[in-house]
Amino acid sequence: MVALLVLATFVAFIIIDVLLHRERYRFPVTESALETEPHQAPMVAGVALPESLSYHPGHTWAMRTGRERIRIGVDELAASLLGRIVSIEGPPVGRWFRQGEKGWKVKTAHGEAAMVAPVEGEIVAINERVRQDPSVLTRDPYGAGWLYEVYSPDVEVSLRNLLSGSLARRWMEWAVMELRQMLAPQAFATALDGGRIQPELGAQMSADQWREVTRRFFLA
């Protein structure tokens, strides 16, 4: 009985010590380990659709990066439909985006496509890497291919008007289904068949077809 009492007292002291000195018992996690851990975005109808982002029906995305800051870009379907990008043109730092209005233009071999700003706010940063090498947007639309960062005094309202979760997944499924119907089967039999959407699908279209598709999906 005495032995059990001593053991219980010993365990109690250990628990108290752990609670008072948590940092001593915490396993270290190096920054490099976090950076190299791969993040696989869920696939929806052959298109990557990260759950951490919110989406505008015009195929642009938004991600909160701070108390009043939002990073924005284009989703993977839009990056594919644009095809081979020549340049990206948009307003400079200090300009104000209106949610749902034309935000920037993307120039390709087929012509120009305007895209909508997913949120409202003042531009505070531009991704110069993408401006210098637009192919980064095609390769990594959700990461290195982001376009702008904006200051938004009402972040919650801007994000509330966008699509996320199951609603975003259903929307993307519908968009891919509509795209299948628009593409000529004989020319695009494997474009969206059984796997991930092709990185530069837009480059395979005729100029007229490209203009029709981008006008329909980008809502600008």
pTM exceeds cut of 0.75: yes
User: How far, in Å, are 72, 149, 166, 188, 207 from residue 54 at the CA level?
Assistant: 10, 14, 11, 29, 30
In what helix (H) or strand (E) does residue 142 lie, and over which residues does it extend?
none
Instruction: Report DSSP state, residue 198.
Output: P
Answer yes or no: are the C-beta atoms of 58 and 220 closer than 8 Å.
Answer: yes
Please report the pLDDT score of residue 89 as a whole number.
97
pLDDT digits (tens, 9 = 90+) for 145-176: 999 999 999 999 999 999 999 999 999 999 99
pLDDT at residue 60 above 50? yes
Q: Could you name the CATH architecture of 44-218? A: Beta Barrel (2.40)
φ, ψ dihedrals at 126, nearest 5°: -125, 135
For 14, counting Cβ atoms within 10 Å of its Cβ (0-12 exposed, 13-18 middle, 19+ buried), the class is exposed
Q: What is the pLDDT of residues 36-48, one digit of tens each?
A: 333 478 999 999 9
What pLDDT score was predicted for residue 220?
86
Question: For residue range 69-105, what is the model confidence (pLDDT) as tens digits?
Answer: 999 999 999 999 999 999 999 999 999 999 999 999 9
What span, in angstroms and rounded, lies between the C-alpha atoms of 168 and 48?
Answer: 12
CA dist 132 and 215 (Å) reads 25
Q: Where are the extended beta strands (E) located within the chain?
A: 43-44, 47-48, 54-56, 60-64, 69-74, 85-89, 96-97, 102-108, 111-116, 121-126, 148-151
Mean confidence (pLDDT) of the chain: 83
Q: Judging by beta carbons within 10 Å of its beta carbon (0-12, 13-18, 19+), is residue 41 exposed, middle or buried?
A: middle
More confident residue, 119 or 30: 119
Domain extents in the chain = 2-36, 44-218
Identify the DSSP state of 59: T
pLDDT at 23: 34
